[in-house]
Structure 1
Amino acid sequence: MDKYQHGTQYPRTMNPAGLATPGGHYSHVSIANGLVFVSGQLPIDATGRKLTDSSFEAQARQVLANLSSALVGAGSDIKKLTQVRVYIVDVGHWASFNEIYARWAGDAKPARAVVPVPALHFGLKIEIEAVAVV
């Protein structure tokens, strides 16, 4: 008997409206056992335009908008976030990001890590992945 037949749900994947088509072999969202896993979101708008030449702040706002779209599309929301991992190419952007994030998250304060990295795809400056409950 398959282990999934003992009450564990098979993961369900989706690409919610408002997000560009994934650029690789993945889904924006995977839902299993009441948890929503959001793949790393880059500052790419719904049409697929990469905000490479935009300011860090504009990129951060786009990524958070993408995260919101992913959460809502999965039947969750910001208040149901449990963990957020942020990758930034310059730790000097941390204070700016924290201010933008605090306005976006409001009263929600999930566990969070901000990880400086040497580079991200397409020369972008920020990427965020997250876990929430449905």
Structure 2
Amino acid sequence: MIEHLERPDGLGPTNGYSHAVIGEGRLVAISGQLPVDREGALVDASDALVQARQVFTNLGRALSAAGAEPRDLLRLTYFLTDLADIGEVRTARDEFLAAVSRPASSLVQVAGLVLPGARVEIDALAMIESR
């Protein structure tokens, strides 16, 4: 069971995330996902939206491997090399999450990522039912 507290009393408005999320079950930690294809090749370094969509595709694959879905997400942490890319990342996020409740989130600007040319990396925590 997951409960999303999008805007608790006294906290400011959000843009696609919840201020707090409560979960009960088995914790699933997803390592930072990079904008790479199945072979590990970087996708279009010139297009933040293409990269963000690939990161969410990879995140979805990792969730699925753990028996989880986007609706099971508790938290996303975004690492961007350029904060100007936030609009494209939000577009990809909204496509990925569609009609599910928004997880808690943090955004960090970084000087670079482990893969040269990568503009975005996202890690996640999810909660699935106990067995």
Same fold (TM over 0.5): yes
The AA in structure 2 aligned to 1:111 is: A
Quote the Cα distance in structure 1 between the aligned partners of 2:38 and 2:101: 25
Contact 2:28 2:66 in 1 (8 A): yes
1:61-105 CA-partner distances (Å, limit 9, x unpaired): 000000000001100010000000010000011122112211211
Quote the Cα distance in structure 1 between the aligned partners of 2:42 and 2:115: 8
- Which ranges of structure 2 fall in alignment gaps of 5 or more residues? 1-24
Partner of 2:32: 40
| Cα 1:54–1:85 shift into 2, 3 Å | same
Larger Rg over CA atoms: 1
Matches within 5 A, 1:31-70: 34-51=26-43, 53-70=45-62
Q: Does 1:87 align with 2:79?
A: yes
Partner of 1:28: none
More relative contact order, 1 or 2 (CA 8 Å, 6+ apart): 2
Quote the Cα distance in structure 2 between the aligned partners of 1:50 and 1:85: 20
Structure 1 consecutive aligned stretches of length 4 or more whose deviation exceeds 4 Å: none
Q: Which of 79-88 and 95-104 deviates more?
A: 95-104
Aligned residues: 102
Matches within 5 A, 1:3-18: none
- Which ranges of structure 1 fall in alignment gaps of 5 or more residues? 1-32
Partner of 1:115: 108
SS of structure 1 residue aligned to 2:67: coil
Return the TM-score normalized by structure 1.
Answer: 0.71
Partner of 2:125: 131
Quote the Cα distance in structure 2 between the aligned partners of 1:91 and 1:54: 15
Return the TM-score normalized by structure 2.
Answer: 0.73
Partner of 1:100: 92
The AA in structure 2 aligned to 1:84 is: L
Contact 2:75 2:125 in 1 (8 A): yes
